[in-house]
Structure 1
Amino acid sequence: MSIYNNILVVANVNSDDQPALARAMQLAAKSRSPSHVTFFLAIYDFSYDMTSMLSMDERDAMRRGVIHQREQWMQSVAEPYLNEGVVFDVRVVWHNRPYEAIIAEVFAGEHDIVIKGTRKHDILESVIFTPTDWHLLRKCPAPILLVKNADWPADASILASVHVGSENDTHLGLNDLMVEQLKCLTERLGAKPYLINAYPVTPANITIELPEFDPTTYTDAVRGHHLTAMKALRQKHGYDEEQTIVEQGLPEDIIPESAKNLNAAMVIIGTTGRTGLSAVFIGNTAEHVIDKINCDVLALKPEGYISPLDPNTAS
């Protein structure tokens, strides 16, 4: 199980404030093992590659100059966050697709987590663009920690959003992985752990199409199934009933509400490989959850996940 000591931090080129770097240094400072933090940036300017009046060598020299300037800026903005005992370096690459550059660096540097600042995406942007965040959630083999705020709240909790209603082996494995990471992170950061599960509301059309259908009995059966499965999961990992939440409703409603009520500093979600999103997060639900939560979100892939950008499997 990863303990997050080889950390890749994605720089925010638009600000001197670097909450992702702050979180990385917090994790590194509380580690029992030596930690290495790489501050990373992918940059690209189309004009440097299309300047026909310049020779190839001159264009290369211009690119190197831009990269050097960014490296100096990153060293400068990183200075307030640095901790003694944490190995730190800066890496800037020339690449026109940031998410591909980030994932390539994950493989090259064998990083065990990617930490990136995020923000609420407005409707227009989410319609026209696919943000780097979502590409990383779907395709990056390493855990992705999306950081909303630099400050870690006092008396904080961490929630693991488990999918206990499923009997799918991938989901069951992800549940165990999330709970193991929850235990590791709450101990490391001094937070309170909670397991949370949302189960579906009875579809209204069933009662119309099947007059003999009893929605109350059905709802009770579904809730009972989820409570039993949650009990088995919490007992397996040594948690008390008071540390579990099983609520009826949509994940994008239940998870943010619970995160707010429990003063959550982080929510852990599971993502699967084929679509990048767990079956509990159908369609854009993961995006809605992340945008509604005003805290960090840690997204984990199942064991054995193979990224479509894995250089070892490229044809």
Structure 2
Amino acid sequence: MNLQRLLVVIDAEHQQQPALQRAADVARKTGAELHLLQIEYHPSLEGGLLDSHLLNRAREAILRQSHEALRASVAHLSDEGFRIEVDVRWGKRRHEEILARVAVLQPDILFKSTHPSSALRRLLFSDTSWQLIRRCPVPLWLVHDVAPRGQSLCAALDPLHSADKPAALDHQLIGISQTLQAELGLQAQYLHAQAPLPRSLLFDAEVAQEYEDYVTQCSREHREAFDTLIAQHAIDRAQAHLLEGFAEEVIPRFVREHNIGLLVMGAIARGHLDSLLIGHTAERVLERIECDLLVIKPDGKG
């Protein structure tokens, strides 16, 4: 994973820009260049009584003013020596404009703020964020707060590929985590949560009698797969955690208890076109965490 070209989505509706601050922190340590993207849109300038020429002039004026304002707001970063490019675009569907810019720029990471503002965890991520989680082909770093929670990251692994993940994705997650540990000084932890089928779901009496053997075998298979995966990388055993329980419960709890600042997860797109979805387990995890999230797609897949 390279850390030389960072694309940052600027949210003009908020005064604070956690994504920009996090990207700047990364750039300070790596010398990366920052590409800032701001999307403007006002429904009143999409048709109506004004003719198309006047509408275009109004949109152009807004884009020019926004560009100047954004450039002025990051002048202190330019003075600090950052290499910064500013791009302000007009677009009704923000995620489509962002993905178009990603396709052209091919950044190493896309940064976006989540701006949580509701007690309903589903609203932690806006529709734009969910669309990017599903469709962004490059690593997507969703920033939760201006100040990072801690100096540790956690990579959520799935060595038995129960979520239909390709085997290479776990190695990809580990490699990226090791790069972030080396480049950014983040202490990496590696987590796998495993849970056997609950006894309450077994209705066949004969099968139920063999439940304990099933649990033992399930645990052994997960342990062997996790140990084999970890052994292929230079990972201290103290950094590897195999915990029992459902991922959507274990991962958020581990993040809280270990003051994790960045959760690294793989996402698999299912379906096609606008129906792309990541796994239900992953979505339930995302609704419960309160740290930054780095979403990784398998190499060559968006």
Q: TM > 0.5 between the two?
A: yes
Partner residue of 1:48 out of 30, 45, 50 = 45
Residue 34 of structure 2: SS of its match in structure 1?
strand
Q: In the TM superposition, what is the alpha-carbon distance from 1:167 to its structure 2 partner?
A: 7.6
The sequence identity of aligned pairs, in percent, is 25
Quote how far apart the aligned CAs of 1:290 are: 2.2
The one-letter code of the counterpart of 1:5 is: Q
1:39-118 to structure 2, matched below 5 A, reads 39-54=36-51, 56-81=52-77, 84-118=80-114
Whether the aligned pair in 1 keeps the contact of 2:152 and 2:259 (CA below 8 Å) is: yes
Find the partner of 2:187 among 186, 192, 199: 192
Distance apart, 1:67 and its partner CA: 0.8
Could you report, residue by residue, the CA deviation over 1:39-90 in whole angstroms, capped at 9, with x for unpaired residues? 1111212221213333x22211100111112212322333455573431021
Q: Who is 1:311 aligned against? A: none
Q: Gaps spanning 5+ residues in structure 2: where?
A: none
Determine the C-alpha separation between the residues in 1 that align with 2:211 and 2:76.
58
What does residue 13 of structure 2 align with? 14
Range with greater deviation from structure 2 (93-102 or 237-246): 237-246
Separation in structure 2 between the aligned mates of residue 37 and residue 50 of structure 1, nearest angstrom = 35
Q: What's 1:225 paired with?
A: 221
SS of 1:39 mapped into structure 2: strand
Q: Secondary structure at the match of 2:261?
A: strand
- Alpha-carbon offset, residue 252 of structure 1: 1.6
Q: 1:297 aligns with which of 287, 290, 293?
A: 293
Counterpart-to-counterpart distance in 2, 1:289 and 1:266: 13
1:110, distance to aligned residue in structure 2 (A): 1.9
List runs of 5+ in structure 1 lacking aligned partners.
Answer: 308-315
Q: Cα distance 1:248–1:125, how it changes in 2: closer, same or farther (>3 A)? A: closer
**Do the aligned partners of residues 210 and 76 (structure 1) sit closer, same or farther apart at CA in structure 2, a change above 3 Å counting?**
farther
- Give 1:313's aligned residue: none
Contact 2:251/2:285 (<8 A) preserved: yes
Per-residue deviation, residues 252-283 of structure 1 (Å, max 9, x unmatched): 211111111211110000011325555xxx32
What residue in structure 1 maps to residue 264 of structure 2?
Answer: 268
How far residue 207 of structure 1 moved from its aligned partner, in angstroms, is 3.3
The 2-side partners of 1:228 and 1:116 are apart by 37
